[in-house]
Chains A and B, each alone.
Chain A
Amino acid sequence: MKKVVDARGLSCPLPVLKTKEAIDKGEQEIEVLVDNNTALENVTRLAHSRGFKVATNKCPDGEWQILINRGE
């Protein structure tokens, strides 16, 4: 089951904090939605630092879908 973290419209550092909470709960596959580049960069940095693989998709209106997973 993929965990979805909808962090659109949240101010710093909530996108990172919510992603971190999901990682700490042991989620293996997380989809994070953000609506600004700063959050995109911060969430990506967090995921990399925790050993996750990161893929991003640009959506309309400056939104991003960040797919992170443990991979094998």
Chain B
Amino acid sequence: MDRRDWLVVGTGLLIGVLAVVLVKLGNPGNMGLCIACFIRDTAGALGLHRAAIVQYIRPEIPGLVLGAFFAALIGREFRSKGGSGSIIRFFLGIFMMIGALVFLGCPLRMLLRLGGGDLNAILGLVGFIVGIIGGVELLKRGFNLGRAQTGTIIGALVMPLIAVVLVLLAINKPVFNAEAGGPIFASAEGPGSLFAPLAISLAIGLIVGFLAQRARLCLSGGIRDFALTKDTYLIKGYGAIFLGVLIANLILGYFNLGFADQPVAHTDGIWNFLGMALVGLAGILAGGCPLRQLVMSGQGDTDAGMTVLGMLVGAALAHNFMLASSPAGPTLYGKIVVILGIVICAGIGWFCREA
């Protein structure tokens, strides 16, 4: 273990603990931090979908982007880069989100669910690994979306500025269409009505974004790097997040081992598996998990910004078209689109090759 190993392990442990602290302070169960769920809630608050129980501008999301932004500024890593298959990355973001909402969580929440004793997440993890290994095979066969170019500083600032606007909207909660009751919409019940105090959510988002940028934390990268080169750097972060969340859950009495009656989860193993397989595959092709995409979007990577916007649109599509699962289980449409997504992403991986 060298200095960088300690950074990723320390970051992972802290994220695990802070996620449980957020649950203690009001966030939904096993959902202290979830990039997919929180972008989805934000999409709902903005009126991009009208699922009434999942509408809230989660301050963690802009916090993560801005935390990464400040870390990149301090580390002199803030740089405008983009133009590597941007529109394809947008669609990878859409599919990454749909897969996550069929499973009910991004890879980070999958670890939080595991550390809370939710055994359904094991099937998600196995699917995630299978999707990643599929993506790695496509990489080895020459998958490449092309080189990114240096862009304008204005382009690099778009995502950090969107983050600032989201924070302002979260604080002021203006209602633009009083007749419709929003936007900004706010859930009266359900997961969207459960949240930690705004300032704490924002602060934890900033801290996690800062550290995740420094440590290059990526939930799909850990398994990928191990499969590709036996490199264990990022996978140490996985272990640390799991350990942190497990210990914090045991101390606070949230640990509940089993399949049934887990918070915001369903027990349909096949679709937990396939949903996360889609996230793993799309994540490898996009160059990082949802958390990593947010972080990179904060450091000037406009392609990652496109992926994040794809995730936002994907969340809206997932709820408008009845693709997202509920604790009752996956929907027929969700199943169809997950299969479609796997086929489309595999096609992207197969056909987008170096000339």
B147–A8 CB distance below 8 A:
yes
A41–B81 CB distance below 8 A:
no
Question: In the complex, A13 Cα to B149 Cα: how many Å?
Answer: 17
Question: In the complex, A16 Cα to B228 Cα: how many Å?
Answer: 9
A14–B77 CB distance below 8 A:
no
B288–A12 CB distance below 8 A:
yes
A13–B148 CB distance below 8 A:
no
- 14 further A-B contacts with Cβ under 8 Å, apart from A10-B147, A10-B148, A11-B303, are A9-B81, A11-B286, A12-B287, A12-B288, A16-B225, A16-B228, A16-B229, A17-B139, A20-B229, A35-B81, A36-B79, A36-B81, A45-B233, A61-B150
Q: Which residues of A contact B84 (CB under 8 A)?
A: 9-11
A14–B231 CB distance below 8 A:
no
A37 at the interface (CB under 8 A from B): yes
Interface residues of B (CB under 8 A from A): 4, 75-77, 79, 81, 84, 139-140, 144-150, 216, 218, 221, 224-225, 228-231, 233, 286-288, 303
- Classify the secondary structure of A's interface with B: helix
A sample of 10 cross-chain residue pairs with beta-carbon separation below 8 angstroms, ordered by A number, consists of A9-B81, A11-B303, A12-B221, A12-B288, A17-B139, A17-B140, A20-B228, A41-B4, A41-B216, A45-B231
Interface residues of A (CB under 8 A from B): 8-14, 16-17, 20, 35-38, 41-42, 45-46, 49, 61-62
Q: Which residues of A contact B149 (CB under 8 A)?
A: 9
B229–A49 CB distance below 8 A:
yes
B287–A11 CB distance below 8 A:
yes
Q: Which residues of A contact B146 (CB under 8 A)?
A: 9
- Contact pick for A49, options B75, B144, B231, CB 8 Å: B231
Q: Which residues of A contact B225 (CB under 8 A)?
A: 13, 16, 42
Question: In the complex, A42 Cα to B76 Cα: how many Å?
Answer: 18
B229–A46 CB distance below 8 A:
yes
Question: In the complex, A10 Cα to B84 Cα: how many Å?
Answer: 8
Q: Which residues of B contact A37 (CB under 8 A)?
A: 75, 77
B147–A46 CB distance below 8 A:
no
Question: In the complex, A9 Cα to B77 Cα: how many Å?
Answer: 14
Q: Which residues of A contact B218 (CB under 8 A)?
A: 12
- Which of B140, B146, B147: most chain A Cβ within 10 A? B147
